Structure 1
Amino acid sequence: MRMACAQILSGTDPAANLQVVADYTERAAAQGATLVVFPEATMCRFGVPLAPVAEPLDGPWATEVRAIAERSGITVVAGMFTPAADGRVTNTLLATGPGTDTHYHKIHLYDAFGFTESRTVAPGSEPVVIDVDGVSVGLSTCYDIRFPALYTELAGRGAQLIAVCASWGAGPGKLSQWELLARARALDSTSYIAAVGQADPGMAADSSGAPTGVGHSMVVSPWGEIVAAGGASPQLMICDIDLDTVADARRTLAVLSNRAPFLQVGRAESPR
């Protein structure tokens, strides 16, 4: 499988961000990728009121992402915000492309490091795995990466690759934690991890302390090895994933099947 990590720098204008989605998706498709993963908050960066920009999944922003995916012929995963029933928004990943049109609402909200995401964002509750050209891909968002059970559950549901779409907050030790957590979740789930973050805005970072990204997207193998890594700036990273590596890791390091029965919520399937 050839996939692309689109490390972008979202602004506050959803229409302008759509143009970035179109550009990166077209470039990914031209290089043979069947999947392009964008960060959390692709629709609009954090640090501004989210309710005014939130749109339903059948609204114009999501509809245009579907059109971009259809024109390019690949699956697109991109972060957006949708209205929640209680007046907040949901932090949503839209997944759309050949044979796929679904979404994931972020389960674990970022109430940490002085930021309170739950004040304006309502949590999701259901893990999601999609099929991309015969490869099972799990979806997760940013703070989710600190909760290993979600990743073993996604692997139990058959995921061979798990995307982590993030707008990682900056701060002391945060970048090293990003790498450590991505590698740990790969080992926990014996899956590839595609950790795709917003680029580092540098001096343009939001003064409110909102998480606006540190860059350094990466793809990690089921053995915890970094097989592709980006820097701080916007970039498109292409990576070829060998699904035989997943099968080999799950035979050799059988942590999914060795779990105590009361922890085996999902059932690991043999990779194709």
Structure 2
Amino acid sequence: MQFIKTTLCFAILLAAVLSVHSQVVMDLYDGEVPNSKSFAMEETSATDDNGITRVSGVTIPTLTAYFPTNDVVNTGKAVIICPGGGYGILAISHEGHDVAKLLASNGVAAFVLKYRLPKDEIMIDKRIGPLQDAQRAIQLVREKASEWGIDENQIGVAGFSAGGHLASTLSTHFSKAVIDNPKHTSLRPDFSLLLYPVISMQNGITHGGSRQNLLGANPSEADVNRFSNELQVTPDTPPAFLVHAEDDTAVPIANSEAYVAALKAHSIAAKLITYPKGGHGFGLHNKTTSDKWADHFLEWLMGI
């Protein structure tokens, strides 16, 4: 009886939170975080003069859920958002929470993934650490879909920069679980949104910092190919919407172009929005243009 009362109280509290703030933070794992070493690392968060918050030292990954409030129509769609930061930090505000708020205001449930950054000190195998958290995120959202008013077949992933590499890795490596999956829940996203993404680990196209943080200073050819996601596309890879500026010197637009070409070679729907200028890391707002990529994405999303 006490359990029922506690559960009921939690449900009432959750409903109240959603109606007012539309935001809930939850631990990604119920118990022990997989692939972890015992190492004292402090999570830090710093906000610069531009209002951009960067998080590092994550050892306890979380999901922050933004559900559509009562004043908008719930589309039943959901997006798991992976902020960027070169696999060294998480630009969690403008490439995470700001995007989630916009999606929720348009009837799309959004989940900001605060994932572990690959570090040998805290991980047994740092190459798969971020992917484990991404797979767990989609597993959790899909298993809770009916409870949260989400269509289990309309759950996608978004990623910015190195978060785009993680999102595209989730979109191409879903057939092999790197987490426990006792219910055999599908780990495949139904669509992906990739903003100035790191796609490839190949020399001449990759972002060097992201590759080194994920794979080490001298990765094997097998690892480079394994995590070059343009090489991992199959007919089962989900459709994708990509955004990239042509003058991006940090992550060349060739990354997005290679992924789109691979998708189209397998007859998978893909749309790439390009801007002549904007550089890297502009988040929702490319200040060089009045065009809003998010408007195009929402139109595309409602049509798939």
Question: Which interval holds the TM-score relative to the shorter structure?
Answer: 0.3 to 0.5
Q: Give the TM-score normalised by structure 1.
A: 0.37
Which protein is richer in strand relative to its size? 1
Of structures 1 and 2, the one with the larger relative CO (CA 8 A, separation 6+) is 1
Q: Give the TM-score normalised by structure 2.
A: 0.35
Higher CA-based Rg: 2
